[in-house]
A and B are shown apart, each in its own frame.
Chain A
Amino acid sequence: MKNRIAVIISASIVIFGLLIYTLATTDPTDVIGNRSITSFNAVLSAMPGYVGKDGASGGWAITSPLGERFIWGRNTDPGKSYDLTLEFDMKPFLDAGLDPEKLPEGMVKGDKIVIVSELDGDRPADPDETSPQELFSEILRSKREYISYHTALDHFGIKIGDGNVFEWAKDMGTNDKDIVFVLDPAVFIEAGADPEKVEGWLYAKVKTMDGSGRPIEIYKFLKPYNIVE
């Protein structure tokens, strides 16, 4: 009987190991990854006039009706791989007391603030020959951990680093916040901005999880857009 138990447990370990390996190495069960691509493509399709090449970076960009941009593509520096970038006007932050000198180096680009996430890994396909959808899909496949799901808003999000996220609705038909620019306020507050006075950005608490998975509520700057009525 003990042998039988040993056989059952050994066989189970093998079967279970195979299952784990399969899950870890194949995409079909990655429902969030797969669905995030579909939803992102839907966003791109819903605002064709707002999607285009980003000349400076060589990547693709989605521009909000008020001018904020989410850029995905490769860095201009050929030695680097590709970047994710959030770009938005500095003026509302200046009006709220921001001292641009106090922002970390590289965040100020003319009258814009840029938040860049440099991604390691192989160089992606040439954006010139790749559609925005394909390029995004490629980034996601190689950097899956950058994609998350925000249950409270039913959003997917791509992490730009330091708590900054670009979010889009899983289903634009049922969501009134189709895309959302999410900024971590800490760096702006340190640079002198009064978060309550930043025009056009909603300063609010959002539910999220910290690095260890602890549920927390933290303040963020939010700028949502409803693309599809």
Chain B
Amino acid sequence: MAKEILKITGMHCAACSARVEKVVGKMEGVEKVSVNLATEKATVFFDPDTVSLSSIVEKIEKTGYVAVSFTEMTVVDEDKLRKEKEIQALWDKFIVSAFFAVPLLYIAMGPMIWWLNFPIPSFLAPMQYPLNYAIVQIALTLPILIAGRNFYTDGFRAIINRSPNMDSLIAMGTSAAVLYSSYSVYQITAGNFGAVDNMYFETAGVIITLILLGKSLEAVSKGKTSDAIKKLIGLAPKTAVVIKDNREYEVPIDEVETGYIILVRPGEKIPVDGVVLEGITSVDESMLTGESIPVEKKAGDQVYAASINKNGMIRFEASKVGGDTALAQIIKLVEEAQGSKAPIAKMADIVSGYFVPVVFVIAVLAAAAWLIAGESLVFSLTIFISVLVIACPCALGLATPTAIMVATGKGAEHGILIKGGEALETTHKIDTVIFDKTGTITEGRPEVTDVITVGEIGRNELLQLAASAEKGSEHPLAEAIVKKAEGGGQEMLAIDRFEAIPGYGIEVEIGGRNILLGNSRLMDIRNISRTELSDRSDTLAGEGKTPMYVAADGKLAGIIAVADVVKSSSIDAINMLRSMGIEVAMITGDNRRTAEAIAKQVGITRVLSEVLPQDKSNEVKKLQAEGKKVAMVGDGINDAPALVQADIGIAIGSGTDVAIESADIVLMRSDLMGVPAAVRLSKSTIRNIKQNLFWAFGYNVIGIPIAAGFFHLFGGPLLNPIFAAAAMSLSSVSVLTNALRLKSFRPLG
């Protein structure tokens, strides 16, 4: 199954995006398609053996839109330029139409607002020179119609394609006004001078102008919703200084390849990802992690593209370039999230799909009903136009994606990468958060605190054997032992055999000796007595340390205790979650006493200890079976199944790739405050989406009956089509403005 992202242009409302989804979704070989109106992107999953990308593009273009494959980052720049051009073109059209609409409105409405005494030239007085009056109105209306010609070309094409959209409503409404006015002009030339009262050119002109204004504001606001992506893209430097044959060359970033040696001076941006070869410096990685304190870097440390080298000169070897850099991955992740749909959008999508035809039917029925009831043709026409113009599916279409765009962008700014609309929506429902212990609640950089021996093996030898056994392991506890041994200048011994026993420890052969290293259960299953050290082990565990038993040739040899430091933010994050009414639990493979000691430090009462890696997901399942919405926070490979099983998996950015891949949310910093921040962001976003949907639905629910004259039946107001157009434009702008409020989101309130 292939996945392709297509850039779709020419969509103006939710009906358009729904149409593209419907048309492409029906194609044989297309598994799934999701079209996002706000980002103007379609994500298509298809079987390349059954259907080609070109045929999908062709199908979309036949429907009346332009589709382009969206792959490289350079396209993003082109897209940005195209959007800027689009915004400029809309403004230009608005300026031209406003230039003509103002005098048109003045001439048309001035005589009606007699109490304001607007001076009108005598040769344009409607009751004296009706044809002059009409000709001037036509002359002023034509440029406006030309400026808004896309409404007609796109709107009528959509009708021909049996997929009417917002443009169709505008085209039909204003065309009705223009055609009827033209007929009135004909009546004037035929001698029916009273027809001068039945001209609605200004209605059409002002509607087009207001909608162009609304579209311009909408385009600007839409642009702002993707500011986060633009900022991220803008972070990437354009060139790099490459060292070759001891000479420095400044080369475009696109020409940098892995393995190149790159020089970065103080104050410069690091151009690609790599590993430091020489030099010591501190690097500001805040643009990637949100962490404002610069990170010390020395030989062997990883550096990331777009981070800023603060005070030292370094040389590093490029390890990831182009689309493989962490920055490019983040951009991709955020873009995919912004293009994704939240379940809450589904209802709006369904409504939008039926919206335009239903509105058209309502307009015809309302106009016919008034005509039958004895009102004039002019009155019925006004009703018809008002209903068509006020009904605005575009606010419905924008309500959800714009909020998601702003929220995911805002999350990225704070180092919280949310992988999609669904994750963003589900997070607000979370009522239980399970934290992994090591590397999540704790720093994940444990240190050896105690080495206790029994029998003939001495302290140093025990440490050497344990370190040699753990040398190949990436487990934080293993790393602590290796680090301790190396720090003591001990050499690592060659390993003849290595076997990991998940959840228990390891078994190795070193120089003909069988070494077991692991928890008490490992000793128990191998029938090794640990009586001599069990009290010491309990004491160490009670201090929050992790005691690891070492056995040599079937006999207990000692305990190596390792302790991990609780992260400074863990207590605050857990307190904040609890204050939000969220239950917090800790899960660990560690022994109960150690786990409880750590849990006590951070204020967690529900502790799931001695859980085997494969059982972590079962513990999540158990909580889910209790009806809980569970978020799992972890960093290791062993957390991946639980991250997937949880309703929301949250990976710590410092964790393994597998964990990050399995998670719905990635915290770029190792700071647990990102968890309550993500929940708060989700709650704010969902609240914002609900407000948007309320306004978009409410606006139509109230607006359409008013426009149809329902309230007029009971002496209530009747809507002028011009006010209908203004209200319609305002609805989209208000939804966007509300979504943009999320830009002021602060993670800590």
Shortest CB-to-CB span from A167 to chain B, Å, is: 14
Q: Flag if B136 contacts A12 (CB, 8 Å).
A: no
Residues of A within 8 A of B135 (CB): 19, 23, 29
CB closest residue in chain A, given B117 = A212
Residues of A within 8 A of B117 (CB): 212
Q: Flag if B111 contacts A23 (CB, 8 Å).
A: no
A-facing residues in B175-200 (Cβ within 8 Å): 188-189, 191, 193-194, 197
B143 interface residue (CB < 8 Å to A): yes
Residues of A within 8 A of B205 (CB): none
B121 interface residue (CB < 8 Å to A): yes
Q: Flag if B194 contacts A213 (CB, 8 Å).
A: no
Q: Flag if B92 contacts A1 (CB, 8 Å).
A: yes
Give the CA-CA distance A5 to B123 in the complex, in Å: 29
Q: Flag if A29 contacts B132 (CB, 8 Å).
A: yes
Q: Flag if A9 contacts B188 (CB, 8 Å).
A: no
Residues of B within 8 A of A31 (CB): 129-131, 188-189, 191, 193
> B residues bordering A, Cβ < 8 Å?
88-89, 92, 95-96, 99-100, 111, 114-115, 117, 121-124, 127-132, 135-136, 139-140, 143, 188-189, 191, 193-194, 197
Q: Flag if B127 contacts A151 (CB, 8 Å).
A: yes
Q: Flag if B123 contacts A32 (CB, 8 Å).
A: no
Contacts A31-B189, A149-B193 given; does A19 touch B136 at CB 8 Å = yes
Residues of A within 8 A of B136 (CB): 19-20, 23
B-facing residues in A202-222 (Cβ within 8 Å): 209-210, 212-215
CB closest residue in chain A, given B115 = A214
Q: Which 9 A-B pairs have the closest CB atoms?
A: A214-B114, A213-B114, A151-B194, A23-B132, A24-B123, A31-B131, A29-B131, A212-B114, A149-B193
B-facing residues in A174-229 (Cβ within 8 Å): 209-210, 212-215
B-facing residues in A96-153 (Cβ within 8 Å): 144-145, 147-149, 151
Q: Flag if A24 contacts B121 (CB, 8 Å).
A: yes
CB closest residue in chain B, given A38 = B191
B-facing residues in A1-53 (Cβ within 8 Å): 1, 4-5, 8-9, 12, 16, 19-20, 23-24, 29-32, 35
CB closest residue in chain A, given B96 = A8
Residues of B within 8 A of A74 (CB): none
Interface size class of A (residues with CB under 8 A): 20 to 34
Residues of B within 8 A of A209 (CB): 114, 127
A170 interface residue (CB < 8 Å to B): yes
Residues of A within 8 A of B132 (CB): 23, 29-30
23 contacts between A and B (CB under 8 A): A1-B89, A1-B92, A4-B92, A5-B95, A19-B136, A19-B139, A20-B121, A23-B123, A23-B124, A29-B129, A29-B132, A30-B129, A31-B131, A31-B188, A31-B193, A32-B193, A35-B191, A145-B128, A148-B128, A149-B130, A154-B194, A213-B111, A214-B114
Give the CA-CA distance A30 to B127 in the complex, in Å: 11
Q: Flag if B114 contacts A149 (CB, 8 Å).
A: no
> A residues bordering B, Cβ < 8 Å?
1, 4-5, 8-9, 12, 16, 19-20, 23-24, 29-32, 35, 144-145, 147-149, 151, 154, 170-171, 209-210, 212-215
Residues of B within 8 A of A154 (CB): 194
CB closest residue in chain A, given B146 = A8
- Beyond known contacts A19-B135, A31-B129, A151-B194: 8 more, CB 8 A cutoff: A8-B96, A19-B139, A29-B131, A29-B135, A30-B129, A145-B128, A149-B193, A171-B191
Shortest CB-to-CB span from B298 to chain A, Å, is: 52
Q: Flag if A148 contacts B127 (CB, 8 Å).
A: yes
Shortest CB-to-CB span from A109 to chain B, Å, is: 32
Give the CA-CA distance A1 to B96 in the complex, in Å: 12
Q: From the candidates A4, A5, A30, A171, name the one contacting B131 in the complex (CB within 8 A).
A: A30
Q: From the candidates B139, B191, B197, name the one contacting A16 in the complex (CB within 8 A).
A: B139
Residues of B within 8 A of A29 (CB): 129, 131-132, 135
Residues of A within 8 A of B122 (CB): 145
Shortest CB-to-CB span from A205 to chain B, Å, is: 19
Q: From the candidates B99, B111, B140, name the one contacting A9 in the complex (CB within 8 A).
A: B99
CB closest residue in chain A, given B122 = A145
Residues of A within 8 A of B189 (CB): 31
Give the CA-CA distance A31 to B99 in the complex, in Å: 29
Residue in A4, A31, A35, A214 with the greatest tally of chain B CB atoms within 10 Å: A31
Residues of B within 8 A of A9 (CB): 95-96, 99
Q: Flag if B130 contacts A5 (CB, 8 Å).
A: no
Residues of A within 8 A of B193 (CB): 31-32, 35, 149, 151, 170
Q: Flag if A1 contacts B88 (CB, 8 Å).
A: yes
Give the CA-CA distance A177 to B731 in the complex, in Å: 53
Q: Flag if A12 contacts B191 (CB, 8 Å).
A: no
Give the CA-CA distance A108 to B124 in the complex, in Å: 38
Shortest CB-to-CB span from A9 to chain B, Å, is: 6
Q: Flag if A5 contacts B115 (CB, 8 Å).
A: no
Residues of A within 8 A of B124 (CB): 23
